[in-house]
Amino acid sequence: MEIGILTIFPGIFDSPLGESIIKRARQKGLVDFTIINIRDFAKDIHKTCDDAPYGGGPGMVMKIEPIYNAMEYLEKEKGRRPKYILLTPQGRILNDEMAARLARQSFICLICGRYEGIDERILHFVDEEVSIGDYVLSGGEFPALVLIDAILRHIPGVLGNSESIKEESLNENLLEYPQYTRPQVFMGMEVPAPLLSGNHEEIRKWRRKEAIRKTILKRPDLMGQFKPTEEDLILIREIMEEILE
């Protein structure tokens, strides 16, 4: 996958894209980044990327021409047009389904706003607007990194163990089951017995039940979308009886 990033703060990406899972994905050739400093495409001597808003009001607005010039440059360099994604608190809120869908694209370009945002005419050139949640950050760089991480986890070969994403929270609209590692007892708190049993079926069933229990207790909103099997229905009944006891 190719990912272009348009930003006036390219340095923000150095460490997050140069460590751990993303670093390995780059080394394996699974993802390639082209980070473009929008400022390089401002034509005046001061490299101006922002200006006062028409109609007055506080703050500055990012100018459209340098961004448009950067988009043209990227397309010329790569010989094709990416799917342009604008990071904005006004976009559709990111979820795992969206990340999985975007992971199937071969070339995307993330546009990071700053100040009061970008001149509205940018919407004419973008394919999708994405928000990472109902709060406002100072720039689109961190949202872009969140989106990149969420997307890359869906690209085969990026995660060490190809199974790990299958059991992750939100798969099947369930939270993940509780996880434990050594020591077996910590400050009197013991690892649940089924996990020590060595019995794969018992472990599977316990994990399924605890995943359902967690979801009921922590994210009951997800249960509406969860499609239980017959076994799940029995587990749900057991959990409800245990809760009501």
Q: Applying CB under 6 A, which residues contact ligand SAM?
A: 87-90, 112-114, 116-118, 131-133, 135-140, 143
Task: Tell me whether residue 110 or residue 195 sits nearer to ligand SAM (CB atom).
Answer: 110
CB of 179 to ligand SAM, least distance (A): 29
Task: Tell me whether residue 116 or residue 172 sits nearer to ligand SAM (CB atom).
Answer: 116
171 is written with which tokens? 């798969």
Strands 107-112 and 2-7: parallel
Task: Tell me whether residue 48 or residue 173 sits nearer to ligand SAM (CB atom).
Answer: 48
d(CA 185, CA 196): 12
Burial class (CB in 10 A: 0-12, 13-18, 19+), 217: exposed
Task: Tell me whether residue 88 or residue 215 sits nearer to ligand SAM (CB atom).
Answer: 88
CB of 62 to ligand SAM, least distance (A): 7
Task: Tell me whether residue 29 or residue 57 sits nearer to ligand SAM (CB atom).
Answer: 57
Phi and psi at 99, nearest 5°, equal: -60, -45
> What number of residues does the chain have?
245
CB of 8 to ligand SAM, least distance (A): 11
Task: Work out the number of other CB atoms within 10 angstroms of the CB of residue 80.
Answer: 11
Show Cβ contacts of residue 2 under 8 Å, excluding neighbours closer than 6 positions: 31, 32, 33, 34, 78, 82, 106, 107, 108
d(CA 88, CA 120): 11
CB of 93 to ligand SAM, least distance (A): 8
Q: Which residue is nearest to ligand SAM (CB)?
A: 113
CB of 85 to ligand SAM, least distance (A): 10
137 three-class SS: coil
Task: Tell me whether residue 4 or residue 113 sits nearer to ligand SAM (CB atom).
Answer: 113
Task: Tell me whether residue 1 or residue 126 sits nearer to ligand SAM (CB atom).
Answer: 126
93 three-class SS: strand
CA dihedral 148, 154, 155, 158 (to 10 degrees): 80
CB of 116 to ligand SAM, least distance (A): 4
CB of 129 to ligand SAM, least distance (A): 9
